[in-house]
């Protein structure tokens, strides 16, 4: 019969394996919604402003919608891009801390 320590190690290893499997791709989407004055709490009609996909091997893909300006050139919404970049930074930091926390639970690591 496995000891409590062995069960805890197996549980931590299982969580680590799931986290690593989930961490192969990190997808960040930033959305906007035009609020309806008649239904200001309805967020169901959100549209993607930007999407970034970061793969475990370091490959990255970012999709940023552009619009044609009055002069015919492409125009980027700098404010929405800044929000998206902050979302990407937050997601990377969160994933890094989560994986580090799980790794610290393994024997011989952390404390």
Other Cβ atoms within 10 Å of 30 Cβ, number: 19
Residue range 26-40: mean pLDDT, rounded: 86
58-83: per-residue pLDDT in tens?
888 998 888 888 999 999 888 889 99
CA pair distance 73, 60, nearest whole angstrom: 26
Q: What pLDDT does 87 receive?
A: 94
Angle at which helices 78-104 and 4-22 cross, to 10°: 160
Q: What is the pTM of this model?
A: 0.67
> Is pLDDT above 70 for 111?
no
């Amino acid at each position: 019969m496995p000891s409590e320590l062995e069960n805890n190690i197996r549980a931590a290893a299982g969580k680590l394996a799931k986290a690593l499997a989930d961490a192969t791709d990190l997808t960040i989407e930033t959305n906007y919604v035009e609020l309806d004055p008649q239904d200001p709490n309805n967020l169901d009609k959100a549209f993607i402003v930007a999407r970034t996909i970061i793969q475990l091997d370091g490959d990255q893909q970012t999709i940023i919608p552009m619009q044609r300006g009055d002069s015919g050139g492409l125009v980027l919404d700098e404010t929405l891009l800044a929000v998206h970049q902050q979302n990407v930074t937050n997601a990377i930091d969160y994933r890094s801390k989560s994986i580090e926390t799980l790794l610290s639970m393994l024997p011989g690591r952390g404390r």
